[in-house]
């Protein structure tokens, strides 16, 4: 990027009108995450984008689930979330009970057969899809941290440790 305060599409960090102060590096991290969902560089993420990311990750969302995810985040009711709304979501404090529910819901997405474990290879595939710059060795290292006993299956507690410490 030519200017560390400039985001893709020419949006400047100071033009985001954020309620909190963020470093240029943090804004770039959010931009990278946003760009994964905004694969067509439209400047916003709609329900279809979330469905495509989920499908690429071999996840199934129930009908209207993507729209529900966007619902409260779409402050201007445009039908999608823009970068400012995305950063607002990412910087809104979450209470502990909500976090626990979200983590359990995330685990259930990966626990396709409902047996209380996730296949380590499936998680690795998703991690590589999410972070396309991640090397095979880096992905293997991450998964070995999530699966310390090298069983090929990751239980809920190991999954939480993986999410909170990566």
Indicate the domain borders of the chain. Answer: 15-91, 96-165
Please determine whether the domains at 15-91 and 96-165 fall in the same fold group of CATH: yes
CA separation for the pair 141, 135 (Å, rounded) = 10
CA separation for the pair 80, 83 (Å, rounded) = 10
Tell how far CA 12 is from the center of its chain: 22
User: What CATH class is the domain 15-91?
Assistant: mainly alpha
Q: What is the pLDDT of residue 16?
A: 59
Q: What share of the chain is helix, strand, coil (3-state, %, to 5)?
A: 55, 10, 35
**Pairing assessment for the beta strands 117-119 and 153-155 based on DSSP bridges:** antiparallel
Backbone angles phi, psi at 119, to 5 degrees: -70, 125
- Tell me which architecture the domain covering 96-165 has in CATH: Orthogonal Bundle (1.10)
Q: What is the pLDDT of residue 10?
A: 41
CB 150 within 8 A of CB 109: no
Which parts of the chain have pLDDT scores under 70? 1-20, 57-58, 60-63, 94, 165-166
Tell how far CA 45 is from the center of its chain: 13
Q: What is the pLDDT of residue 4?
A: 40
CA separation for the pair 23, 36 (Å, rounded) = 21
């Amino acid at each position: 990027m030519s200017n560390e305060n400039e985001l893709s599409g020419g949006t400047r960090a100071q033009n985001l009108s954020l309620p909190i102060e963020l470093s240029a590096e943090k804004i770039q991290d959010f931009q990278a995450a946003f760009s994964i969902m905004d694969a067509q560089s439209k400047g916003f993420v709609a329900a279809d984008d979330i469905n495509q990311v989920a499908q690429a990750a071999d996840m199934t969302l129930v009908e209207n689930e993507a729209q529900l995810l966007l619902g409260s985040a779409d402050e201007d009711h445009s039908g999608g979330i823009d970068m400012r709304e995305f950063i607002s979501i990412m910087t809104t404090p979450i209470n502990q009970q909500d976090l626990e529910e979200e983590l359990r819901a995330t685990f259930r997405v990966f626990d396709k057969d409902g047996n209380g474990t996730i296949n380590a290879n499936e998680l690795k595939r998703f991690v590589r899809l999410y972070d396309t710059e991640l090397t095979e060795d880096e992905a293997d290292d991450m998964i070995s941290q999530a699966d310390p006993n090298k069983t090929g299956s990751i239980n809920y507690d190991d999954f939480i440790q993986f999410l909170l410490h990566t």
